Structure 1
Amino acid sequence: MSGPLAPGATIGIVGGGQLGRMLAAAAARLGYRTIVLEPQPDCPAAQLANRQVVAAYDDPAALAELADGAAAVTYEFENVPVAAARRLAERVPVFPPPAALEAAQDRLAEKRFLNAAGVATAPYEAVDDAAGLAAALARLGGSGVLKTRRLGYDGKGQRVLDRPAPEALAEAFAALGGVPLILEGLVRFEREVSVIAARGRDGAVAAYDLAENVHRGGILHSSTVPAAVSDRTAQAARQAARAILEALDYVGVIGVEFFVLADGSLLANEIAPRVHNSGHWTEAACVVSQFEQHIRAVAGLPLGAPGRHSDCVMENLIGDDVARAPSLLAEADLALTLYGKAEARPGRKMGHVTRLTGRVRL
């Protein structure tokens, strides 16, 4: 790509969930068309995109169709097969780069990448079998969070171990599928925060204000902005995000989650090489949302200013929470986004609301 995409160009999106839906809406605002690759017909993104390719993410013919139909390709979730992303990149620019997927898809590789980039994490150990789990647990003081290295999200694929009986270790390993695992040391933290940052094709970086996140049952419940952290902590988070973006030669939006310790220092928890749930507040409280910022980066346009005009609280609507939508719309200073999903199920994200809680003095 030698210059910005011209209005009317088509951007490909791998994945048809709610993030793809909001990316398609942002692309349309900037005059771009979108084509979505997603095996589920009538997915949330396809309801707003110009076209859908209904096929598996690694289907060779579908990948060729997507590459032929798009001037650039992005993705809305981090479990896109790396081989498929690399195959696309042989024919069309892919942003963020496939290397970002590779770093984020394996929790062990992710921790090693973060440490190599100068970003601190909780202590961790690789666990390949039940015997290795006992040794790893001993090295971490007898307690930790055992996680699958791949495919876990929203609290799935993990188990807390706190000085378990020896016979419980084999059961814990088997319960997570007998696959390669990672044991992360338990961290005493005061709060969880995240930073949404973007890097353009020209190397420019823009970072939004930190959000303070509350999880329930492993699923993000709310994000409050501003986070209750010092300026020093906020600056450290932004610097860590920049280091990650530059180490990956990244293009697009990334979400970086942190634990904040009692002294204000940070430990990175994980990275998401895509737009992120904890950045949904930017739709209502910023002139340029994380979704528009991502499209700007992918299209080669200048990044927008990431400043917010309002303090806010974003809350996910999970499962039957979506039934509250009509009453929520009666509230002042509230923005509602629904995802177009036909069936509300326990633990399923159906939409979100953002309440503006006060104007920011500029």
Structure 2
Amino acid sequence: MTTVGILGGGQLARMLALAGAPLGLRFLAMDTSADACAGQFVPMVVGDWRDEAALAEFASRVDVATFDFENVPAESAEWLAARIPVFPAPRALRIAQDRLAEKTLFNELGIGTPAFAAVDTRAGLDEAVARIGLPCILKTRRLGYDGKGQFRLKTPADLDAAWVALGPQAPKVGLILEAFVPFEREVSVVAVRGRDGEFRAWPLTENWHRDGILSASMAPCADGAALEPQAVAYARKVAEALDYVGVFALELFVRDGQLLANEMAPRVHNSGHWTIEGAETSQFENHLRAVLGLPLGSTAAVGHSVMLNWIGAMPEAAPVLRSPAGHWHDYGKSSREGRKVGHATLRADDRATLRGELETAVDALSRREEFSGVISRLG
């Protein structure tokens, strides 16, 4: 029986294990925290990412390794790759961990991005702002996600505060200044590439955020027919350039009908959670198929889906579970501000039915305002 090792023991590892059970797979997760939620379902190795003894134990017990967390040090992934198969390859992980390397790659592939510049010093920040203009966003190049490690600059008076907030991190993780894009909406293409180079993508997904964290996703995107060919072409370029194996997400801004790449995630992705109930093959199953060298499953949508992310604390389940369209996912985490603790997906055969079921559920949860944008896009 094949054992799949997962670097990271969060909800993504948990959902990978659940998807892999019907395939007859076993799993071993590695995490720095003993209470990582995947440990409720699979055995774990607990240790620092740079602890070679822990990595060696992990490697000795698995046949192939993958990630649920992109901030695993690339050096650790490279150490493992010298001993066992690791997918995606550490090079893809290393590039995706560095916003400067990532956006440079996008531009080299002919994929448009917001203007950007590396920032290493306070004087360098002044020079970058003069070149890119205001408003703009100062970000850490590495170790930032879900809105962390970012500071928005609106006026020249913000530069000192931005440097106080992020400047001390420059020597360790690097900084990048990016132009602020007044985008109309954000979409993502979740795609998968197999060991043999086979490439597939799920329908384009439209996303909403609150405080830098994904709040909701809708698939297929309302105007996906116009945007999807370009988005999928971009994802294919990235996958082929990196010789990527597994699932990844490419996040894109939509402005005046054009797509600008924001970032990629080298793993299964929050905006693809709807695929569990809303696609012929979920992102989790297809990721496992890819890393094991198995044929990929269909990425076709089954009707229409909306995924609602639960941040901080789980709401009452009954309003969603009463719906014939409702599906509930509790990650088994304790409540904490800003923490992803679960999600719900509503799926229906047509958009009108989905809108009605969504309205009923969010009204019962007293959260209609939070998800009003999704409701309006369902028409």
* TM-score, normalised relative to structure 1: 0.93
Change (3 A) 1:130 1:212: same
Secondary structure of 2:88's aligned partner: coil
Q: What is the aligned counterpart of 2:77 among 60, 81, 85?
A: 85
User: Could you list the runs of 5+ residues in structure 2 that have no partner in the other structure?
Assistant: 352-379
Runs of 4+ displaced beyond 4 Å: none
> What letter corresponds to residue 352 of structure 1 in structure 2?
H
Aligned mates of 2:156, 2:213 — CA distance in 1: 25
Aligned mates of 1:280, 1:319 — CA distance in 2: 18
Q: What is the aligned counterpart of 2:161 among 167, 171, 175?
A: 171
| Residue 314 (structure 1) aligned with residue 339 (structure 2) | no
Q: Which residue of 2 aligns with 1:5?
A: none
Superposition pairs for residues 133-282 of structure 1, below 5 Å?
A: 133-165=125-157, 168-178=158-168, 179=170, 180-262=174-256, 264-282=257-275
Higher alpha-carbon deviation: 287-296 or 173-182: 173-182
| Residue 72 (structure 1) aligned with residue 74 (structure 2) | no
Q: Which residue of 1 aligns with 2:362?
A: none
Shift of 1:345: 1.0
1:201-243 per-position Cα deviation (integer Å, ceiling 9, x unaligned)? 0100010001100000101000011213352421000000000
Q: Indicate if the aligned counterparts of 2:320 and 2:327 stay in contact, CA closer than 8 A.
A: no
Shift of 1:66: 1.3
Change (3 A) 1:177 1:324: farther
Aligned mates of 1:171, 1:160 — CA distance in 2: 10
**Structure 1 vs Structure 2: percent identity of aligned residues?**
52
Secondary structure of 2:142's aligned partner: coil
Q: Which residue of 2 aligns with 1:9?
A: 2
1:258-311 per-position Cα deviation (integer Å, ceiling 9, x unaligned)? 00111x111000000000000000001112100000000011100101001110
Aligned mates of 2:201, 2:315 — CA distance in 1: 34
Q: Indicate if the aligned counterparts of 2:139 and 2:175 stay in contact, CA closer than 8 A.
A: yes
Aligned mates of 2:101, 2:205 — CA distance in 1: 26
Secondary structure of 1:294's aligned partner: helix
**RMSD across aligned positions (CA):** 1.3
Aligned mates of 1:106, 1:319 — CA distance in 2: 27
Aligned residues: 347
Aligned mates of 2:229, 2:41 — CA distance in 1: 37
Shift of 1:172: 1.0
Q: What is the aligned counterpart of 1:59 among 25, 45, 51?
A: 51
> What letter corresponds to residue 162 of structure 2 in structure 1?
A
Shift of 1:177: 4.3
Secondary structure of 1:11's aligned partner: strand
Higher relative contact order (CA 8 A, sep 6+): 1
> What letter corresponds to residue 171 of structure 1 in structure 2?
A
Secondary structure of 2:335's aligned partner: coil
Secondary structure of 1:324's aligned partner: coil
- Which structure dedicates a bigger proportion of its chain to helix? 2
Q: What is the aligned counterpart of 2:20 among 19, 24, 27?
A: 27
Q: Which residue of 2 aligns with 1:293?
A: 286
Q: Indicate if the aligned counterparts of 1:309 and 1:359 stay in contact, CA closer than 8 A.
A: no
Q: Indicate if the aligned counterparts of 1:44 and 1:340 stay in contact, CA closer than 8 A.
A: yes
> What letter corresponds to residue 270 of structure 1 in structure 2?
E
* TM-score, normalised relative to structure 2: 0.89
1:148-182 per-position Cα deviation (integer Å, ceiling 9, x unaligned)? 111111111111112322xx423311211421211
Aligned mates of 1:306, 1:323 — CA distance in 2: 30
Superposition pairs for residues 100-139 of structure 1, below 5 Å?
A: 100-139=92-131
Aligned mates of 2:121, 2:348 — CA distance in 1: 49
Aligned mates of 1:55, 1:197 — CA distance in 2: 31
Aligned mates of 2:316, 2:163 — CA distance in 1: 40
